[in-house]
Amino acid sequence: MVSLKFLSILPAILASVPLIASAPAEGRTHNGKTTAARPTVYPHPLNTGKKFPDSPRRTKTCFIDALGGGQDDGPQILAAAKKCNNGGTLAFLDDLYTIGSPLDLTFLKHVDFDIQGTLKFTDDIDFWIRNQFHYYYQNITSFWQIGGEDVNMFGSGKGVIDGSGQKWYDMYDVQKLNTTFLRPMLIVFDGIKGGQVSGLKFRNSPNWNTFIGNSSDMIFDNMRIEAASTSKIQAKNTDGFDTYRSDNIVIQNSDVNNGDDCVSLRGNSTNILIQSLHCNGSHGISVGSLGQYYQNQDIVENVYVFNITMENASDGARIKAWPGIFGEAIPGWVGGGGTGYVNNVTYDTMLLNNVDLAIEITQCYGQKNLTACNEAPSSLEIKNVFFHGFYGVASKKYDPQVGSLICSSPSVCHDIHAWNINVLSPTAKAPYYSCYNMDTSLLGFTCKALT
């Protein structure tokens, strides 16, 4: 005879085993809900000029039924990823999935994620500090890492990934000088070759939202990122998208509401296209920071930023490099002395509203003492940069200054061009840009030299 105790836990056991259907994923019904077709996503209207690999149709589906009651769905997600690897779709059709354990899915090949509900990470800070994934670069960590070949995630405008960030925001105000208090990123795409991420909402990440590292041939389309505190403590370091050591990446048609870089292109980001974004509350579309690690080479090359709306931000277009000497920048954080270059970067068409600086270039990132910075000019060269078609109104913060282009030396910062720049002062004063070590003949605006 089967015991009543066993019967009481049988539904949970069955729910933890992903159901597999050996048929195309789209249009299949499970528990009254229907799987979605993978959307067709391509760069538009511009493209990188490089080919994106084909993604064959999937032939099997793993239905993941949420355990409910706050139980950890992480293990069954991992099991489903293994079962449906090599040609399958993971279908998340329930309203809420709870994830209370780190997800290492860096082994994927030809896999889709059909996410129609919410995947919510628990806010057990003590657990996550002990169990998150760690990376060398800037001592960052994450809840979830995904890697492999031909990996697609789509939310059909309904799917949500939620980092339960509020407790992290509040705790960081107390723990920010504690070097062991590492806040995880929402999701890391590490080592993906070919993939599309679309129609998803990323919400309440404790740290950066989307980190794209060691990856190539990826398109992010129709994304919505939100990271805002509901308490008096502001959310910090909530970058929307970050690229690092990645090539042929497109980020487009998306909305980012956050408190740090809307997009940040970090070391060895090449052939990057960013187009048709709305950014609110951010630090702009940033190249860098670069040159943080002593004698390490950072390259950012062949970048096109097109058709951006930037509101309530510290910057519109921003390029930031560390000084040429290694030294302490802020408490607990040292950097500088790295090498490399920024080459062929274009910012084309940006509408600004209440933005502190329309354009900012600095080679003294992390060093407030300009005199000390000039004594150690940046080793990282900035060249062939183009700003075109900037319109709108700056904020009152530096009024009537609307931009800052500060280079440490003409030898490492040159061929910076700007034209059709029409950013106004909010008080109707004559706008100007602070310039230092710049060839002002290439700039279509009024420069005011530093004194």
Active site members? 283
User: Element (H or E) spanning 114, and its range?
Assistant: strand 103-115
Please report, to the nearest 10 degrees, the dihedral formed by the alpha carbons of residues 369, 374, 376, 377 taken in order: 120
Q: Parallel, antiparallel, or unpaired: how do β-strands 210-213 and 187-203 relate?
A: parallel
Q: Quick one: how far is CA 289 from the chain centroid?
A: 14
- The span from the first CA to the last CA of the chain, in angstroms, equals 89
Closest CA to 141 of 208, 225, 72, 239: 208
Q: Give the span between the Cα atoms of 319 and 144, in whole angstroms.
A: 29
Is residue 58 within 8 A of residue 89, CB to CB? The reply is yes
Residue 158 carries which side chain, given as an amino acid letter? K
Distant-in-sequence, close-in-space partners of 172: CB < 8 Å, separation ≥ 6: 181, 183, 233, 236
Task: Please say whether the dihedral angle defined by the alpha carbons of residues 269, 275, 276 and 280, taken in this order, is positive or negative.
Answer: positive
Is residue 408 within 8 A of residue 373, CB to CB? The reply is yes
Is residue 86 within 8 A of residue 59, CB to CB? The reply is no
Is residue 87 within 8 A of residue 129, CB to CB? The reply is no
Q: Which two structure tokens, joined as six digits, stand for 411?
A: 């030898």
- What's the half-sphere exposure (Cβ side, CA atoms, 13 Å) at 230? 6
CA dist 445 → 408, 419, 424, 430, 435 (Å): 20, 8, 11, 11, 11
Is residue 242 within 8 A of residue 262, CB to CB? The reply is no
Residue 97 carries which side chain, given as an amino acid letter? Y
Distant-in-sequence, close-in-space partners of 232: CB < 8 Å, separation ≥ 6: none
Is residue 278 within 8 A of residue 256, CB to CB? The reply is yes
According to the 3-state scheme, what is the secondary structure of 323-368? CCCCEEEECCEEECCCEEEEEEEEEEEEEEEEEEEEEEEECCCCCC
Residue with tokens 């950066």: 208
Q: Residue 18, preceding bond cis, omega within 30 degrees? A: no
Q: Give the span between the Cα atoms of 315 and 264, in whole angstroms.
A: 12
Cα Rg of the chain (Å, integer): 23
